[in-house]
Amino acid sequence: MREFFRRERGDSPGSSRSPGRHLRSLLTTHSVAGQVFVLQLALTVLLVVAAVMALFFQSERAGTQEARQRSVVGAETFAHAPGTLAAMQSADPTARLQPAAEAARKASGADLIVALRPDGIRWTHPDPRLIGKPVTRRPPLDGKAHTATFTTSVGPAVSTTVPVRAKNGSIAGLVSVAIRVHQADEWTVRQLPLLLGSAAAALLLVTGGAAWVSNRLRRQTHGLHPAEMRRMYDHHDAVLHAVREGVLIISSEGVLLLANDEARRLLELPADAERRPVADLGLPARLSTLLTSGRPATDEVHLAGDRLLAVNVRPTAPRSGPAGTAVTLRDTTELRALAGRAGVAQERLKLIYDAGLRIGTTLDVGRTAEELAAVAVPRFADVVTVELLEPVLHGDEPAAGANAVLRRMAIRGLPEESATYRVGEALAVVAGTPMGQVLANGRPVLVADLRTADEWRRQDVAGTQRVLERGIRSLIAVPLQARGVILGLANFWRAEASGRFEEEDMTFAEELTARAAVAIDNARRYSREHATAVTLQRSLLPQTLPEQSALEVAHRYLPAHAGVGGDWFDVIPLPGCRVALVVGDVVGHGLHAAATMGRLRTAVHNFSALDLPPDELLSHLDELVSHIDTDEARAAGLGTGVGGGSGDEGLWPGGVPGDTDGGPAGAGRTGITGATCLYAIYDPVGGRTTLATAGHPGPAVIGPDGTVSFPEVPVSPPLGLGGSLPVETAELTLSEGSRLVLYTDGLVENRDRAIDTGLELLRTALAAGADRTPEQTCTAVLDAMLPDHPSDDIALLVARTRLLDPARVADWEVASDPAAVAPVRAACLDMLESWGLTAVQFTTELILSELLTNAIRYGAQPIRVRLLYDRSLICEVSDGTSASPHLRRAATTDEGGRGLFLVAQFAQRWGTRYTPGGKVIWTEQSLDGSRPATGPESADDVLDQWGDVPEL
């Protein structure tokens, strides 16, 4: 009975339960109770440390918050204190603010109170040596209070800067108050005794709990009965023979001591295998050597019959009992087969994923075909060839058939020079061959063994024989099909060493090819639209530049690789030997941008015919763009709003467009137009240039000495904002030989280059050659600045100025007296004779008589006459009124009304332009005296009716 209670208490015979021995058993880490005790002790210490850290950080945070609040209150109080604003606005702010700031600092306990000028110069400081010196960082001037935390030599501090506003709302000065954050060490030290006391109490509780747990564990793990041990042994034996893993126990002498049922099955052991040497069991030599060597092994694969076994060997000497080895065996035959198939599936999934990333990176048909071939070799096939139908290359809709003509676009896996057909060569498909079947049926074709496929040889007997000689044995031909249309086919080839294609490979080849087909179809459709847009764009741009004497002009236009945009340029001759230069840019790409560009270019020509100044012309153009937006928005059901939704966010403010062509035309902004324009008028009489811009980059000017400048042009919003701001003009006077450079933003700005960098590169390129012609300047600029793949259109216009010879300009003032006409007319005739233009004296006399008579009769001073001798003779009569004469047909009985009719009959061109001080009526005459074709009522008929020209 005593022995029974001893076992119940967990004591062995003769054991003693002294308190000292019990405590030692509790503290040792070899027992479960000791490990539990150590764990609880560690958790207790960790909780104490965490509590200390939490209290410390809480103290730090409270100190920082207190300092921040005091800093804000101090800064606001001093900034709004009576007399602060007056002191800042006084003649000597330091004398008035320094005493007040020091008194406030000492009274509030602040570490620093500084009054600052808006530009950061100190008015006050505790250290008088720093008064009048700027602060390290410029203070913010946004009108708000700013609080910041920084570290000083004595610890962290908080500073608050508050603006002091004047009565008109401006910032008269700033007040900055800094307060040092008090440390939390003292508060933490006060709390430390409480924490240590709590930790001691926790340790006592842990010790008592560990002692109780130790007693419970000993009572539950000691004193087992023999029957219980037997049941435990039977359980272990059942488990040993039930597991699906072979187990062997081998002695140090190489004798098999134990083998479970699974080991007997895997190794096909005889019934009397136990107690026999392993070498006598008929096992493979390599496996037998491993089992008897005693060498540790982990998952070594060995062949036993038709099974692949993963063998693990571990020595048993470190454990209790005799030395030997424990061996486990695991059948991996089926597992390896499944793993092989899973590996193939995983690799193909990865290949499909890679194909989605690598195929279709560009909108180029040939490049997409090359990407398909590159992805499939060598991970799926040894050789890949891609052929496309001929119409696909031109962006047309293909019509596949057995007799279609293919063109090879890519080959990968062997050198191109050794291929039967090289890239770019045409292939005539033969009906009945695998390629013919694919194009006819639209389904893939598998040729498992090319050596026995007679239909395949019919394509090219000699070429197919060379394919076989290179070791190619298997083929899968798959159609490149998108939207139900066959675009071409992809051929996957395998050599004999890689194994034949199987039926399941066809499905994978179809999925791989389908991704490429969609990309090729997108590229085909893009090529068609791109070609159409390029054709439209180039047809809308000037084909040749008009003849004129004022400027020597060269130009360049380069469409973007991503798509044609709406950039344009123009050179428009104006009356009076003047020339208008135009550069514009429409937002977006594609046909819509090109068509809009054509509309705007036509509008500019029409407005130029009215001889409007640049600011008025751009205002009319802005109104036109707004009407275009309104009409297209109504047609698209978007309402009538314009301006804010016109996609000009990248164009304004700043006067220089951002990425105006950054996406497809109309993407997300259907029917909304955005455009920029620069319009300049050059007058060779004096070299005066008047220009205005609507959201467009300003011009560059190269002086005759080669210096480059970017004149300041008033900033105006882009076209289409509905006249939100007026358009202003700038005037330049250019010396003869200067070059005026106009360009679109695509030249100086792209996704990889900021506009400031682009302008500096343009300056460098223009300054490199002072004696270049405009053509040479265009070439040099594009060579220096054109990116490899332009993302935006580029329009460039370079014009070298010429001045009209002063000897070919004549100017007279005319009094408001009919008698003054004859002397002026005589002087004009004398000038024509000196120029050698006697052939036009008569017609010029008639024209001047009519224009001067009208100016004197209906106009106002000042009245002037100017003759310009250029490619034609230009007569200009100006006066101080804006009333313009109109051409009309006079009746037979009318005494007047025939003067302008005579002018129109004898002049090649005539018209009226308005100036800030009145108007100018001008005419152009041929230098050889030829007259325009006469109508039903010629000038001679009019003269017959009228008699002679009155002698005025």
The pLDDT score that the predictor gives to residue 630 is 76
Question: Helix 333-358 crosses helix 503-540 at what angle (to 10 degrees)?
Answer: 10
pLDDT band at 641 (very low <50, low <70, confident <90, very high): very low
The pLDDT score that the predictor gives to residue 460 is 74
The pLDDT score that the predictor gives to residue 948 is 43
pLDDT band at 226 (very low <50, low <70, confident <90, very high): low
**C-alpha span between 743 and 228 (Å, rounded):** 99
**Which two three-digit tokens encode residue 742?**
């106009």
* Residue written as token pair 């950039």: 567
The pLDDT score that the predictor gives to residue 360 is 76
**Which residue, 763, 662, 679, is CA-closest to 713?**
679
pLDDT higher than threshold 80 for residue 402 = no
Among the listed ranges 223-237, 460-474, 549-563, 833-847, which one has the minimum average pLDDT value?
223-237
pLDDT tens digits along 140-172? 777 788 888 877 665 688 888 889 888 887 888
**C-alpha span between 732 and 714 (Å, rounded):** 13
Higher per-residue pLDDT: 238 or 389: 389
- State mean pLDDT over 34-56: 70
pLDDT tens digits along 482-520? 887 888 888 998 888 778 888 888 888 888 888 888 888
The pLDDT score that the predictor gives to residue 494 is 87
Peptide bond into 93 cis (omega under 30): no
Phi, psi (5° rounding) for residue 817? -145, 125
The pLDDT score that the predictor gives to residue 951 is 39
Percent of the chain topping pLDDT 90? 17
Asked if 595 and 573 touch (Cβ cutoff 8 Å), the reply is no
pLDDT higher than threshold 70 for residue 261 = yes
The pLDDT score that the predictor gives to residue 488 is 85
Q: List b or e across 438-450, with b for residues whose CB sees 16 or more CB atoms inside 10 angstroms.
A: bbbeeebbbbeeb
Question: Helix 32-79 crosses helix 185-221 at what angle (to 10 degrees)?
Answer: 160
The pLDDT score that the predictor gives to residue 33 is 54
pLDDT tens digits along 55-112? 667 766 777 777 788 888 887 888 788 888 888 888 888 888 888 888 888 887 788 8
Asked if 177 and 113 touch (Cβ cutoff 8 Å), the reply is yes
* Residue written as token pair 């800064």: 75
The pLDDT score that the predictor gives to residue 875 is 94
DSSP H helix total and E strand total for the chain:
24, 30
pLDDT higher than threshold 80 for residue 661 = no
**C-alpha span between 756 and 660 (Å, rounded):** 16
The amino acid occupying position 526 is Y
The pLDDT score that the predictor gives to residue 336 is 57
**C-alpha span between 468 and 610 (Å, rounded):** 77
**Which two three-digit tokens encode residue 435?**
């390629």
Higher per-residue pLDDT: 887 or 350: 350
Higher per-residue pLDDT: 530 or 365: 365
**Which residue, 703, 769, 709, 766, is CA-closest to 738?**
703
What's the number of CA atoms in the CB half-sphere (13 Å) around residue 677? 27
SS3 assignment, position 920:
strand
pLDDT band at 16 (very low <50, low <70, confident <90, very high): very low
List strand residue ranges (DSSP E) for 367-464, in order: 383-389, 405-412, 426-428, 445-447
**C-alpha span between 570 and 349 (Å, rounded):** 55
Distance of CA 813 to the CA centre of its chain: 62
The pLDDT score that the predictor gives to residue 659 is 38
Across the chain, mean pLDDT equals 78
Which residues, at least 6 apart from 482, have a Cβ–Cβ distance to it below 8 Å? 514, 517, 518, 520, 521
The amino acid occupying position 569 is F
pLDDT tens digits along 606-615? 999 888 999 9
pLDDT higher than threshold 50 for residue 652 = no
The pLDDT score that the predictor gives to residue 592 is 77
- State mean pLDDT over 639-649: 38
pLDDT higher than threshold 70 for residue 544 = yes
pLDDT tens digits along 612-631? 999 999 999 998 888 887 77
The pLDDT score that the predictor gives to residue 762 is 92
pLDDT band at 339 (very low <50, low <70, confident <90, very high): low
pLDDT higher than threshold 70 for residue 637 = no
Query: Is the pTM here over 0.85, yes or no?
Result: no
- State mean pLDDT over 915-924: 89
